[in-house]
Structure 1
Amino acid sequence: MRVSLQWLQELVSCPWPVALLAERLSIAGLEVEDILEPGKPLTGVVVGKVLACEAHPDADKLSLCRVDVGGPQPLQIVCGAPNVRAHVHVPVAPVGCRLPAIDLTIQRTRLRGVDSEGMICSLAELGQEGDTTGICILEEQSLTGPLTPGAAVAPLLGLDDVVLDVAVTANRPDGLSMVGIAREVAALCGETVSPPTAPRRPATAMALNRFAQGCRLFSLSTVENVAIGPSPLWLRRRLERAGLRSINTAVDVTNLVMLETGQPMHAFDGERVTGGCAAIHVRFAQPGENLHTLDGQQLSLATGHLVVADGAGPVALAGVMGGAPTQITSRTRRILLEAAVFDPTAVRRSARLAGLRSESSSRFERGVAPQATLAAADRAVALLEQLCGGTSVERQVACHPGVLEERQAPLRRRALHRLLGPMADGAPVQDATVEGCLRALGCGLAPTDEGWLVTVPHSRCQDLCREVDLVEEVARLVGYDRFGAALPTALAPGGRNRRQNLLHQLRQRLVATGLQELCHMSLDQGGPGALALANPLVNDHSHLRTVLYTGLLRAAQSNAQQGNGGLWGFEVGKVFSTVGPQREQQKLGAVLCGQQQHSLWCDGGKAAPLDFHEALGGMERVLASLGIRLQRQAMAATEGVEPLLHPGRSVALMLPGGVFAGWFGQVHPRVTRSWDLPEDVFLLEAELMPLLDAAEQHQGPAPRFQPFSLMPAAERDLAVVVGQAIGSGALMDAIRVAGEPLLEAVHYLSRFDGGDMAPDTCSHAFRLVFRGEQTLTDAQVEAALATVLSVLEERFQARRRA
């Protein structure tokens, strides 16, 4: 937002110099990025009066001029402009003056044998818009003062202004208007704002069904018998200071009021609107409709475009840009002036779909105060009557319920003191200071037991929504530097809690085992129970993931396709579901695909397939190192992974007490073929919270040193026949307990079924290692082995296989 200092002074009397004003605005949150001086390029250019103009003695197209610039003697200047003549006032750049517009420093020169002591300038050479066919005749310009030889030209052309380039944040739409900036300056320096006023026009109501929900308020003012022409100099200058170009009187008035009040407007040629006022309505575009915009584009409208339409179709892209067929021209005699409040989301969507952005859309996207819309329309109508000679005929208004309601927010004294702390002198901010700051913003205050009930002014209704917003305003206006800077006295030391430490240890031990940590997006194509995104960027990532293993399989597939061999990886992440009691869970997933690294020196470069028990045992050892003891059970149909896993090589992992922790298994060959993966692919997916709960509850014995035994060990192989439903883990646990104190270790060798064995039975083979404090005899070993076999027979009806 470019702020003209002369315009600002008309709205509020500010005693500060420019530099201090820019500093205070920046500290308050409206950062001044640059200070522009439009008249600076004209430094040194003065008014000159041409006393005489004669033909050059040695050139047909040059003139020899004697120019009075207020010095003791007139200057002799050679000029080649065809319109130079005697007894007119012109801008003169004397010797030593620099003209940045043409990158030229004036020097004393000799042209065709005649000395020239300066340069008579055109508007283009001064960096201004205008006729470039000759020099600038000041009598032909709209000037702000008398013509005196030697006086500076910049003030006469209205270029003695200073412009502040203010960066307005998205939460301060009031900063996109001169009145809004004036209110901020008045609050900072304790002055009063004097905004321009206009008489209120009577209005009649329009039917609300003519206006979509994207239009909160719509007014249409009719001004007849207008005469459209160029705008006066003061109006053109104000638009130029703001970075806008002058179009014609009517369009310039709408732009001026937009800059002044922040309310965008649009003027239609009433004679080109099909059906007149009664046909104007706001709706969303229909497929196949087009709009020829003011910038010359032909837009193909989509259903997301919010448009203003008449009886024939769209005439404007609502809040963004008008249409060329109904634009104001020099032949316009009847104006329909639109002043509306469109929904910020609808305008943003329309601008994005159309690829257009305008001064109007930037204001609607931030939010426009509906309480000030009709006052802005009154101001525009008054200017149209003044500058175009028109007559206001009627106004029609449609407003949805609740749009004009005031906003109120409570401000508690205790919360304000807690957030701001004491002032630099140690005292809390006083109530009178708080009330003064809020009243300076235009807030209404009603005292309550805990503080105040604040009525927010309409100009700030977009950003003053909560109690903390009001506290921020008090801090801004008082000055952040006036509050104490003491640090909090009690700072809690940082660090991980026990659960975070356990998760960190789990990650470290998985990495130490040889797995890499993977991280995938939480979005995928979706499936049963998946939560869909309202507005996905791409179809392949349109739902929140419900499982981790799809991302792990995709990583393994990518690794294999790139010839990188096997992939051992794990991921800790969240999954989401629309069914079940837990809609969001954190899980641990792992994939073991192929051999992690080929052992060229011993395997001859050939990849050895990964065994199911070896893979599962590795995962169990990692979890056991954290005190998590898992039991294996047959996979239940309720786990929902039957088509994914091999039916004979998958197990459910259970915690003590029958708590389901997850599952592990080999991927079904049919699935590996569809993914173009090797057959030896294993997956783990476990619920992380039950695992960490079990790790937290585990209280292992204190570590103690035990010397290595010097006695030899005795080994025995034991094969037992049991029912197929009995797992090897339960047998090994029973063997460990029954073999104490001589049993040192038990190793699982194999599982066998079929052959001459009875149906529903299988054989499990174990190797038992015995060691004592002295060398064991065969009798001692056989006695311990018999004890183990007796326990297995009693608990599992096992019999020793011959």
Structure 2
Amino acid sequence: MKVSQNWLKNLVEITSTPEDLSEKLSIGGFEVESLEDCSKNVNGVVLGKVLSVLKHEGSDKLSICQVDIGNSKNLQIICGARNIKPNIYVYVATVGTKLNAVDLTIRRSEIRGVMSEGMICSLQELGLKDSSEGIEIIDEDLALKHELGTPGSDILQLNDFIYDLAITANRPDGMSVIGIAREISALLESTLNFPELNHKYNIHLLKGIKLCPEAIEFNCIYTISCIDGVNGEKLSPNWLKDRIEKSGIKSINLLVDLTNYILLEQGQPLHAFDKDKLSNLIGKEVSPEDFSVRKGKDNESLFCLDGKEYKLNDNITVITCCDKPVAIAGVIGGLETSVSNTTSSIYLEGAVFNPVTIRKSSKAVGIRTESSSRYEKGISSKNTINAVTRAINLLEEYFSINSPIINTSNLISNEDIFIKLRRNRIHKILGPLLINDQFEKRNLSDNEIVDKLTLIGCTLKNKEYGWDVAVIPNRSHDLIREIDLIEEIARLIGYDRFDLKLPNPIKPGKLSSEQLALRKVKNGFIENGFNEVLSYSLVPEDDEKLIKISNPLLLETSCLRDNIWKEHLEIVNRNIKAGQVSCYIFEIGNVFQNKSEFIQKEVLNGAIYGNKKFGKWINSGKDNDLNYFQARGKLKEALSSLNIKIDDKPTDSIDFLHPGRTAKLVIEGKDAGYFGEIHPKLILEKKSLKKVYLFNINVSNLLGASTRKNKWIPIYKQYPIVPKIERDINFVFSKKFLISEITSQIKKTGKNLLEDVNLLDVFEDTKFGDDHISYTFRLSYRDKDKTLLDSDITSIHSNIISNIEKSFNTKLRN
């Protein structure tokens, strides 16, 4: 919402600087995103009079001008404009002036042998118009009201500031200049000066009008007023044009500008239909009862003011005349019935629609307008007839019109609704007020409470418990409960003026074991060269299994994701295209599934591509991608801080991973995820550009196992003080057996003396056959109390060999 300070000054007394007011508005809840000084582009530009114009001898297009700017000495200025002539008043940029619009600083300079001491400007060079055919010649009557040398900002009415305010959804009153003025009045405790309304028009209740019950609810209103005697050719006066253009709306003509002016001033959108065009469209004289509000139909379309044709459907609410669509309700009007230079009579529409229907319409057609943005936040229907009255009052100042009738769908009750406000509740929630630096405290007085609420337009009735408070219509959407009023009191007095209310005693917070474990996981990945990424939870619909959201902003974000690996593959592909030789990423996020019930699951996902080395000299400049076991080792290193065992179980059931190079990850006997190489078909289909390894681990399984007492709390073990004995054993196994199965069997048989088992060597040979392989294991024995002898382990070692031979149908190799 952009608003001019000069406009605000007509409505409220402003006693602070623009910078101070910006800070107060921001603290009060209306953040000032930017403060624009309108005069910055014309600083150094003054009023001048051209005394004489001589042809430049060195150029056919240049002239030498003598210009009076009120100083004792006239300026000599070289000018190339075609419309330069003597005895005209112009804008002169003096030496040192910076013209931001054309990025030019004015200096004394010699142009073809003649000195020039300034520049005579066009409005384009001053940044006030997009184009100009020559210098700007000031109207003589206007110029004579000022002395020569008067700053150009005074003549152009640019001594103004524009506040660009961020209006939150809970403060729709901030979408009007009157609402901002009331807020300033409350913050500065200054007086208001709102325009008076002349309520001289008859109100007629429309009984036969058809209204869509979803769009026009019981607290909504639809008004339509016929106004004859207007003229579409009439342009807006400078004051009106200045105000709406500084608010970001382009001036068109007086009729259209007035509707936009009311939208900005009152926060109530209005729309003007050309009466004659409506009559030509439906083939008869239009009456107020011919208007209606309904849902659009699938076979309908409407050309709108932006020159585009929109296909209608039942998500779009339309205004119709004799059932023919003439506008998209609350969003944009139709081109065929719009106001033009030939307009002599209008139908002025003012309405309040259900915000939900406006949001649906705006989304369905893909546009958002000044009107729709206000309707979406919520407008009070109690202000609608007042806003229409204000518009007709202004029309009467510029046109000879008969007092029109305001036709309305219903009469909104102006009866006040009171909110119970308890004195003790205020004191309990806000606490004592600090009154000086000595930390003296006291509760808010009744007068302070009443004064602050009165400043925002509330009416209060004294009660034994406190007050009954009636709220003005433009605050009726956000001040509906007692706590809302208490918040307003605190906001206007200043949150920083209240004493702290901290719990006593204050209990220090701490991270849970799960939170600490999650931090360990993240740090482990980062320390091992991974980058943490964050991908969107919303994805386009490409699978019926995906969960659709009911109100998507875009088709591309219409469903909840059921996996993260696809996005990670895209990230790796982007890195490959950018010339990166490696990409290690991980993410902890949620995936969503809809089986028998809605399931949200937190997972650790990631991707590994390439070999992270500082140089290629080791491999003679060639890429050396990680193999399966190296990539799996990277994941193991990253999770090593958790002190848990993760077993691998080969699988070929995951369709996007390579059969034979994929394993299910098992934690405490439960499937907890997967690790594997991307399927070759994805590389052929260009969905993956290179060989990539993907992993996925269920976070609840990971944290549950790592935070168990025997894993989480370190147990002291004495460092061994006696040596160990190592023995190697070698067998030829069937490839169907897993290393983990073999080592587990060895540990079970070895019992207490067997300290550790490690795979030492893997050997394949054709004499073993295609389905057999040789494994060599190193067994470490140790007794904590004494040094072992060969005789101490002979029996255990023999049992291990026998058990392996029996369990895996193999023989010890010589």
In the superposition, the TM-score normalised over structure 2's length comes to 0.67
Match of 1:376 among 373, 383, 387: 387
The answer to whether 1:440 aligns with 2:450 is no
Alignment of 1:507-522 (within 5 A): 507-510=522-525, 520-522=535-537
Distance 1:364 1:580 in 2: 40
Q: Which residue of structure 1 lines up, in the alignment, with residue 109 of structure 2?
A: none
Could you tell me which amino acid in structure 1 is paired with residue 202 of structure 2? R
Match of 2:488 among 464, 473, 494: 473
The answer to whether 1:543 aligns with 2:555 is no
Q: Contact (CA 8 Å) 1:228, 1:388: kept in 2 or not?
A: no
Distance of aligned partners of 1:238 and 1:517 in 2 relative to their CA distance in 1, 3 Å threshold: closer
- Could you give the per-residue CA deviations for residues 50-102 of structure 1, whole angstroms, max 9, x where no partner exists? xxxxxxxxxxxxxxxxxxxxxxxxxxxxxxx9xx99xxxx99999x9x9999x
Could you tell me which amino acid in structure 2 is paired with residue 784 of structure 1? I
1:620 deviates by: 6.2
1:694 deviates by: 1.6
The answer to whether 1:218 aligns with 2:198 is no
Distance 2:164 2:576 in 1: 52
The answer to whether 1:576 aligns with 2:573 is no
- Could you give the per-residue CA deviations for residues 257-306 of structure 1, whole angstroms, max 9, x where no partner exists? 445423222232323214413332345656786666667x3545555765
Distance of aligned partners of 1:180 and 1:512 in 2 relative to their CA distance in 1, 3 Å threshold: closer
Q: Which residue of structure 1 lines up, in the alignment, with residue 659 of structure 2?
A: 646
Distance of aligned partners of 1:205 and 1:408 in 2 relative to their CA distance in 1, 3 Å threshold: farther
1:628 deviates by: 1.9
Distance 1:643 1:464 in 2: 55
Match of 2:548 among 504, 522, 532: 532
Q: Secondary structure at the match of 2:519?
A: helix
Q: Which residue of structure 2 lines up, in the alignment, with residue 786 of structure 1?
A: 798
Distance of aligned partners of 1:538 and 1:249 in 2 relative to their CA distance in 1, 3 Å threshold: closer
Q: Which residue of structure 2 lines up, in the alignment, with residue 270 of structure 1?
A: 275
Q: Secondary structure at the match of 1:577?
A: strand
Match of 1:33 among 35, 54, 59: 35
Residues 616-625 or 688-697, more deviating? 616-625
Match of 2:672 among 644, 657, 662: 662
Distance 2:2 2:675 in 1: 67
Distance of aligned partners of 1:170 and 1:345 in 2 relative to their CA distance in 1, 3 Å threshold: farther
Distance 2:794 2:21 in 1: 99
Distance 2:124 2:566 in 1: 67
Residues 310-319 or 348-357, more deviating? 348-357
Distance 2:127 2:536 in 1: 55
Distance 2:45 2:525 in 1: 74
What is the aligned length? 728
- Could you give the per-residue CA deviations for residues 723-758 of structure 1, whole angstroms, max 9, x where no partner exists? x7x865455345335435543432346799x9999x
Where do 5+ consecutive residues of structure 1 fail to align?
47-80, 106-121
1:699 deviates by: 2.5
Q: Secondary structure at the match of 1:391?
A: coil
Q: Which residue of structure 2 lines up, in the alignment, with residue 169 of structure 1?
A: 166
Distance of aligned partners of 1:333 and 1:563 in 2 relative to their CA distance in 1, 3 Å threshold: closer
Distance 2:625 2:126 in 1: 84
Could you tell me which amino acid in structure 2 is paired with residue 168 of structure 1? L
Q: Secondary structure at the match of 1:166?
A: strand
Q: Which residue of structure 1 lines up, in the alignment, with residue 114 of structure 2?
A: none
Q: Contact (CA 8 Å) 2:189, 2:455: kept in 1 or not?
A: no
1:474 deviates by: 1.9
Q: Contact (CA 8 Å) 2:730, 2:777: kept in 1 or not?
A: yes
Distance 2:653 2:414 in 1: 52
Q: Which residue of structure 2 lines up, in the alignment, with residue 109 of structure 1?
A: none
Q: Contact (CA 8 Å) 1:42, 1:153: kept in 2 or not?
A: no
Distance of aligned partners of 1:365 and 1:538 in 2 relative to their CA distance in 1, 3 Å threshold: closer
Distance 1:650 1:126 in 2: 70
Q: Secondary structure at the match of 1:583?
A: strand
Distance of aligned partners of 1:8 and 1:690 in 2 relative to their CA distance in 1, 3 Å threshold: closer
The answer to whether 1:205 aligns with 2:206 is yes
Distance of aligned partners of 1:311 and 1:405 in 2 relative to their CA distance in 1, 3 Å threshold: farther
- Could you give the per-residue CA deviations for residues 174-230 of structure 1, whole angstroms, max 9, x where no partner exists? 345453344335434264665412326322235574447456432101234567785
Q: Contact (CA 8 Å) 1:2, 1:164: kept in 2 or not?
A: no
Distance 1:124 1:732 in 2: 84
Distance 2:319 2:754 in 1: 89
Q: Contact (CA 8 Å) 1:649, 1:665: kept in 2 or not?
A: yes
Distance 2:494 2:366 in 1: 41
Distance of aligned partners of 1:440 and 1:593 in 2 relative to their CA distance in 1, 3 Å threshold: closer
Q: Contact (CA 8 Å) 1:565, 1:595: kept in 2 or not?
A: yes
Distance of aligned partners of 1:148 and 1:799 in 2 relative to their CA distance in 1, 3 Å threshold: closer
Structure possessing the higher radius of gyration over alpha carbons: 1
Distance 2:745 2:272 in 1: 91
Identity percentage over the alignment?
A: 25
Distance of aligned partners of 1:755 and 1:44 in 2 relative to their CA distance in 1, 3 Å threshold: closer
Q: Contact (CA 8 Å) 1:2, 1:241: kept in 2 or not?
A: no
The answer to whether 1:702 aligns with 2:716 is yes
Distance 2:807 2:215 in 1: 77
Q: Contact (CA 8 Å) 1:666, 1:680: kept in 2 or not?
A: no
Alignment of 1:327-366 (within 5 A): 327-328=338-339, 332-342=343-353, 360=371, 363-364=374-375, 366=377
Q: Secondary structure at the match of 2:548?
A: coil
Distance 1:18 1:430 in 2: 30
1:377 deviates by: 1.8
Distance of aligned partners of 1:126 and 1:486 in 2 relative to their CA distance in 1, 3 Å threshold: same
Q: Contact (CA 8 Å) 1:291, 1:315: kept in 2 or not?
A: yes
Q: Which residue of structure 2 lines up, in the alignment, with residue 430 of structure 1?
A: 444
Distance of aligned partners of 1:123 and 1:606 in 2 relative to their CA distance in 1, 3 Å threshold: closer
Q: Which residue of structure 2 lines up, in the alignment, with residue 629 of structure 1?
A: 645
Match of 2:789 among 776, 791, 798: 776
Distance 1:501 1:227 in 2: 74
Q: Give RMSD over aligned pairs.
A: 6.5
Alignment of 1:95-134 (within 5 A): none
Distance of aligned partners of 1:782 and 1:346 in 2 relative to their CA distance in 1, 3 Å threshold: same
1:697 deviates by: 1.1
1:373 deviates by: 0.1
Alignment of 1:180-329 (within 5 A): 180-187=179-186, 188-189=188-189, 191=191, 195-199=195-199, 201-206=202-207, 209-211=210-212, 213-214=214-215, 216-224=220-228, 230=234, 250-251=255-256, 253-273=258-278, 274-275=281-282, 276=286, 277-283=288-294, 297=307, 299-300=309-310, 303=313, 307-311=318-322, 313-323=324-334, 325-328=336-339
1:540 deviates by: 6.7
Q: Secondary structure at the match of 1:309?
A: strand
Distance of aligned partners of 1:134 and 1:691 in 2 relative to their CA distance in 1, 3 Å threshold: closer
Where do 5+ consecutive residues of structure 2 fail to align?
49-82, 107-121, 130-134
In the superposition, the TM-score normalised over structure 1's length comes to 0.67
Q: Which residue of structure 2 lines up, in the alignment, with residue 179 of structure 1?
A: 178
The answer to whether 1:692 aligns with 2:703 is yes
Q: Secondary structure at the match of 2:386?
A: helix
1:441 deviates by: 1.4
Distance 1:242 1:16 in 2: 21
Distance of aligned partners of 1:391 and 1:595 in 2 relative to their CA distance in 1, 3 Å threshold: closer
Distance 2:189 2:746 in 1: 88
Q: Which residue of structure 2 lines up, in the alignment, with residue 801 of structure 1?
A: 811
Distance 2:454 2:301 in 1: 49
